[in-house]
Structure 1
Amino acid sequence: MSKNAAFVATLILFAISPAHAINAKYAQQLERSGCTQVSESQGCDIHKTKAENAKNGFGTLPTTETTATNSPYTGEWVATFPQTGTTVATIRIDAKDHAWVNGKKVKAKKSDGALVFRDGFITYTIQGDRRLKGEDVWVDSDAGTKGIISAK
């Protein structure tokens, strides 16, 4: 084999071999901090945690909802008057079936396949079987009014 062919073959081998420019400790710091080499050059601090860096705009905040149970109730909901479409309440339900009505945490319980919770005189019912349409409702026992709840 000629010298030029050997030289070209050597260059090709170097070009296709993976480059391991970072050491193991640096890789662990990147993993712990949620930074990448690019985001580090933009200000992400590898000496902070993922949560601290997420607060500074690098990545996303870790949440406990990442271990979701695939609850059919999870999500954002809106309770409205059927005649006018006026919003009665905004509802948020997390993966552990904790409910918030207009930002206020309320006690929720499962009853006959539905998640039921109250805020004042209003009782909210969200069905667990998402095939049932029109059965996510709210009822105001004081005013005698009722309406529907829709997913956002």
Structure 2
Amino acid sequence: MNKAILPALVILIAAEAPAYAINDKYRKQLEQSGCTQVSEAQGCDIHKSKAENAKAGFTNPALESATDPAADTATTPTPYAGQWVAKSEAGKTVATIRIDAKEQVWVNGERVNAKRTDGTLQFRHGKFLFTLQGDRRLQNQDYWMDSDAGTKGPIQIE
């Protein structure tokens, strides 16, 4: 009896079909809608077009650059581009910040290096650390911190 069970078990395991995370129809719906599985969970509708979902605020830059070889980071709009003002709690201007479409940053006219970290753009100028939130739907999440004095304040776009 045991001699027949082991070979049958080996054959059953070898003949088992592979499992895939999503089926072909669902994958095509994701591609046509411009959604990802994550963005769908956040409200992106796979039954709408890419343009309709983009209008609703759902975009997939990785998919767009993969399907369009002409697309690059210079043409993809960045949520950070513009003129920003860092203010103290008293309303005094601490720094003026300019960010271009390539995410090059100038603080008070001086070029500084910036890096993306966990959905934010962070950069330093002297003792100040500036943090800008990438999701523009979130309000009052842009701030600066002075590491020496232990103070912080808001950053607002002009």
Scaled by the length of structure 2, the TM-score of the pair is: 0.52
Q: Does 1:70 align with 2:77?
A: yes
Partner of 2:113: 107
Distance 1:120 1:100 in 2: 13
**Deviation (angstroms), 1:98:** 0.7
Does 2:148 align with 1:142?
yes
Q: Which runs of 5+ in 1 are unaligned?
A: 1-66
Matching residue of 1:10 = none
Q: Label 1:76 to 1:68 Cα distance change in 2 as closer, same or farther (>3 A).
A: farther
1:126 to 98, 116, 132: 132
What displacement does 1:115 show? 0.3
User: Per-residue CA shift, 1:94-143, capped at 9, x if unaligned?
Assistant: 00111000000000000000000000110000000001111100000011
Structure 2: gaps spanning 5 or more residues = 1-73
Runs of 4+ with deviation above 2 angstroms? none
1:92 matches 2:98:
yes
Query: In the comparison of the two structures, how many residue pairs are matched?
Result: 85
Q: Which letter does structure 2 place at the counterpart of 1:133?
A: Q
Aligned equivalents of 2:141, 2:82: Cα separation in 1:
17
Inter-partner Cα distance in structure 1 for 2:112 and 2:94: 16
Q: TM-score, normalised by structure 1?
A: 0.55
CA positional deviation for 1:68: 3.8
Which residue is equivalent to 1:81?
88
1:135 counterpart letter in structure 2: Q
Q: Which is greater in Rg?
A: 1
**Counterparts of 1:134 and 1:74, CA distance in 2:** 17
Same amino acid, percent of matched pairs: 58
Tell me by how many angstroms 1:70 deviates.
0.8
User: 1:132 & 1:122 partners in 2: Cα distance?
Assistant: 22
